[in-house]
A = this chain, B = another copy of it.
Amino acid sequence: MVNVSGAGAMLHALRDRRPRTRSELSEISGLGRAAVAQRLDALLAAALLEPVGEAASTGGRPPTRFAFNPSARVVLAADVGATHVRLAATDLAARVLDSEVIDVDIGRGPRHVLGWIVDHGRSMLRRIGRGPEELAGMGIGLPGPVEFATGRPVNPPIMPGWHGFDVAGFVGGRLGCPVVVDNDVNVMALGERYIAFSDVDHLLFVKVATGIGSGMVIDGAVRRGAQGAAGDMGHIHVPHESDAVCRCGNTGCLEAVASGAAIAAQLAEQGIPARSSRDVADLVLQGSVVADQLVRAAGRMIGEVIATAVSLLNPSVIVIGGSLAMAGESLLAGVREVVYQRSLPLATAKLEIVAAVGGEQSGVIGAAALLCDTVLAPGLVEAELARHEPRVAAGR
């Protein structure tokens, strides 16, 4: 068996997309010239690396440079919502190759929904001309709390029949690949970080749509808490005169007064037809002053909670996403107003508060990124190289 120890660290370094020479790879891995050559052979045979161009010569034959080859495998990603699933195929750099939206009611239970996802995933692979053996894995975001280690939902309020279901096992068994499952807001947080803030280690993503939730990147990784319930911003208590009852049964929850659903209800009470978070955003974009004022007021209430999160977590970037964030600057303006007023200078001096940039795609990109981070971890890469070594060697 070929020794592949150190190959994982070499690949990990190359994921920054900068090509390296053999001597640079020797420096990164701490391995000698012969060992680097051996690891390179294994990674090239697995197509995970490819030779690209040549480095500037220092005299003599210019050294070859090697780069990560994200096209070596394909990844499936699903962002599951209450009424539809966004499905995508990406490369190993989470770049979307194809995507589609499937209408499916989450209330029909995990076997039905996940069966559809598996079927459509297989079709998508065929459509883009990739075989099942090229599939590195699948990342899935679900709209409820998930026990990340086991890939099982935990008492998800809007997902009847999903509690404790082995999502990773069900999908992984059918597709024959590793599957990672996380909360939808966590994968959106990862997606936004992957797209626009790859160098940011402390990021808070807040989704404002029908409900309100958040995902936290702390010290470079998504943090999920003791039971996977971290980031549950929607049921934080905010002072408010209305005492609206929340779907959780408590009163005064942020979600009950500042979510897209809450604003739609407030508009409907005033005789302005609005049934959803998207309707509210549309009204604002069409110039409704009342809708605009309500969204800005919601931004202030969300800002109160975010100000608390800033004091507790000291992030450097806050990203506001979800359908209500598409209503232009009003929501963000309300958030900024309160956060910069309420938080201490040390925590806000370098704080950016921005709108999400990934749009509808940030969920699938984040789910794909989560899968890539999992399967491209150095230990797994080396296990994979060691396992396939005979086949790879035979093919050369």
Contacts and interface: CB of A to CB of B under 8 A. Distances in A.
Interface string A210-228: 0000101011010111111
A228 B346 CA distance: 9
Interface stretch (A232-240, A279-287, A360-368): A232-240
Contacts of A96: none
A346 B145 contact: yes
A175 interface: no
A218 B154 CA distance: 20
B307 A344 contact: no
Contacts of A347: 225, 227, 229, 232
Interface string A239-253: 100000000101000
A311 B254 CA distance: 12
B307 A237 contact: yes
Contacts of A342: 237, 250
A237 B312 contact: no
Interface residues of A toward B: which range? 35 or more
B350 A312 contact: no
A315 B225 contact: yes
A342 B312 CA distance: 18
A182 interface: no
A148 to B, nearest CB: 11
A308 interface: yes
A250 B309 CA distance: 17
B233 A311 contact: yes
Contacts of A233: 311-312
A1 B96 CA distance: 50
Contacts of A223: 218-219, 223, 313
B305 A248 contact: no
* Secondary structure of the A contact surface, majority rule: loop
A228 B314 contact: yes
Contacts of A345: 155
Nearest to A202: B226
Contacts of A184: none
Contacts of A224: 314
A310 to B, nearest CB: 9
A201 B225 CA distance: 9
Given A236-B307, A309-B312, A312-B214, A202 B229 contact: no
A231 B346 contact: no
A168 to B, nearest CB: 20
A314 B186 CA distance: 14
Given A155-B346, A250-B342, A225 B308 contact: no
A344 B229 contact: yes
A192 interface: no
26 contacts: A154-B346, A155-B346, A201-B226, A218-B218, A219-B221, A219-B223, A223-B313, A225-B313, A225-B315, A226-B314, A226-B315, A226-B316, A227-B314, A227-B349, A227-B350, A228-B314, A229-B314, A230-B312, A230-B313, A230-B314, A232-B312, A232-B344, A237-B304, A237-B308, A239-B239, A312-B313
Q: Give the 8 A-B CB pairs with smallest separation, nearest first.
A: A225-B314, A226-B316, A239-B239, A230-B314, A229-B314, A202-B226, A229-B346, A232-B311
